[in-house]
Amino acid sequence: MRVLLAALCACGAALCAAPRPNIIVILTDDMGYSDLGCYGGEIATPHLDALAAGGLRFTQFYNTARCCPTRAALLTGLYSHQAGIGHMVDDWSVKVGEAYAGDLSRKAVTIAEVLKGGGYSTYMAGKWHVARKAKAESEADKDNWPLARGFDRFYGTIHGAGSFYDPNTLVRDRSPVSPYADPEYRPKEYYYTDALSDHAVRFVTEHRETKPERPFFLYLAYTAAHWPLHAKEADVAKYRGRYDAGYGAVSAARLEKMRKLGLLDPRWKPAPLRDEWAAVGDKAWEARCMEVYAAMVDAMDQGVGRLVAALKANGQFENTLILYLQDNGGCAEAMGRNGPFKPRAEKPSLPPLAADYLQPDMIPKQTRDGFPVRQGGGVMPGPADTYVGYGRGWAGVSNTPFREYKHWSHEGGISTPLIAHWPAGVGQGVRGGLDYHPAHLIDIMATCVELSGADYPREFAGQKILPMEGVSLTPVLAGRILDRPAPVFWEHEGNRAVRIGDWKLVSKHPGGWELYDIQSDRTETADLAAAQPERVREMAALWDAWAARVGVRPWPLAGGKSGQGGKTKKAAKK
């Protein structure tokens, strides 16, 4: 921390006498690189845009292309295989080694565990999704839930997806709770995104009232905008008609805005969209899907605004580092989009559910008031009795200007915005600017450790701990060069990549290696593998050595069946 303070003071930042910062990490779900307004999108995200204007935007920040591995890497500062989440939270994967145990490893420590040891209070609201046991039959089944991994308070879901009106595996601290029989939280209308925002506000406010002498760490992990497409009609109304022109028109507008923002190098040829609007049969339904998706992002941004307002009211804002990022690229999965159209019933046809009923299903069979939950082509999304995704066409728009989607290691799958805002710590010379250093989720732990002054342990709870893999991003906040001595690697479902400087070697399972010069061709349109075989061999050898070190196994894993997009049939339900 002393090194950081000296660097920032040299840049003129008034931080020399400042206490250790509060740290907030905000993670959103299944969103593309260009969805935010400050990254080129048309969706209204004024609060995140304001953080970007007063902070720093990273243009080349990377996730792992999927929800569970991203959370594991973010929380631990390790590659996801080292943290035990080489794939997802699959029971069968434990058969192929501890890298695929599907449970957050005890050879890893979380940011919360490290910062708590350094005197921080630790809070979490949102999606956990790094524990194999999402439904506890005993207290022992909760041994990898948030309070067992360093958090003082928790409100959210253990599982990875579910209804925004009736989420499954909803937990307060260590106790499962129904959103409709919770004595601590009874809003007029329950909507999960709002509930997470409300609890984030509650946690930072209660901290100010009870522990003002201590810094805090807050991990706010929204499920927006992961399927199902659920949004309040008032938010959807803002976007009515906005997407009637279709994929190409919306993507073209984003490209133009990205050029003006300095996010799109004129040398890059944007990846073509794989879906054509002219081929869409039910355009009203397809446009509605994107309207609801936009409304989900909008509601999330509103929640960020409420959190920022609370920080300001509490006097916490100036010395709080806020980091915003996304867990993977836009999702091309066809969740709920196939099959016959099912019209909404005029009145409930099923018995209503009791207020204290604990929703057991990712896809509920019915709403609380007795309407069957519907899927299928033409089912207009938004209400609680629908459960569909926005599909590949709009995912391509979300990922503008990049190739591929969630699951894959091409830029569309692994590229995320990263906004860093910290009034007391981000140098005046970089505020409102762009940073072009390649960076990765594994760097968040190192950044938190340096800023907090906490000690990263060699042993924890009697277990030897793996060393951090990332580097601290704090020099960038002061406008300095980021020194990264090692390459950055990816593997998920056989999709592989390694990046060294401006060069990226990438493979889409089960295909061979492709080579790209990211500086001149980040959209990965000109494969140079055939022209530079020696570079391919050298980079592939580095990837092979990394894969052996962290425990990567060939895909499909023994005991699993490969499906569309590399998913196993069982994992597709996650």
| Residues paired with residue 497 on neighbouring β-strands, in sequence order | 490, 506
Q: 56 pairs with which residues across the strands?
A: 420, 433
Backbone angles phi, psi at 201, to 5 degrees: -60, -45
- With CA atoms as reference, report the closest residue to 333 among 64, 66, 26, 63: 66
Residues 122/479, Cβ–Cβ less than 8 Å: no
Both tokens assigned to 279: 């081929």
Judge whether 76 and 89 are in contact, CB under 8 Å: no
CA dist., res. 508 & res. 407, Å (int)? 10
CA 507 to chain CA centroid, nearest Å:
22
Amino acid at 265: D
**CA neighbor of 380 nearest in space, from 294, 297, 295, 290:** 290
User: Do residues 403 and 524 touch, judged by C-beta distance below 8 A?
Assistant: yes
Which of these, 74, 75, 26, 65, lies nearest to 297 by C-alpha position? 26
Mapped onto helix, strand or coil, the DSSP state of residue 244 is coil
Quick one: three-class SS letters along 116-128? Answer: HHCCCEEEEEEEC
Q: Hey, what are 344's tokens?
A: 């909404």
1, 15 contact by CB (below 8 A): no
Task: Single out the catalytic residue among 38, 47, 67, 289.
Answer: 67
CA 556 – CA 573 distance, rounded (Å): 17
**Greatest CA separation for the chain:** 69
Distance CA 444, CA 235 (A): 32
Beta strands 320-326; 22-28: pairing state: parallel
Catalytic residue among 47, 81, 87, 129: 129
Locate tokens 């400042």: which residue? Answer: 18
Q: Which of 486, 307, 499 is nearest to 410 (CA)?
A: 499
CB atoms within 10 A of CB 281: 8
536 touches 505 (CB < 8 A): yes
Residues 6+ apart with CB under 8 A from 288: 380, 381, 382
Nearest to 514 by CA among 525, 217, 160, 447: 525
Separation between Cα atoms, residue 425 and residue 415, nearest integer Å: 25
Token digits of residue 361: 């299903």
Cα separation, 112 vs 148, whole angstroms: 10
Length of the chain: 574
Q: Is 129 a catalytic residue?
A: yes
Catalytic residues: 67, 129
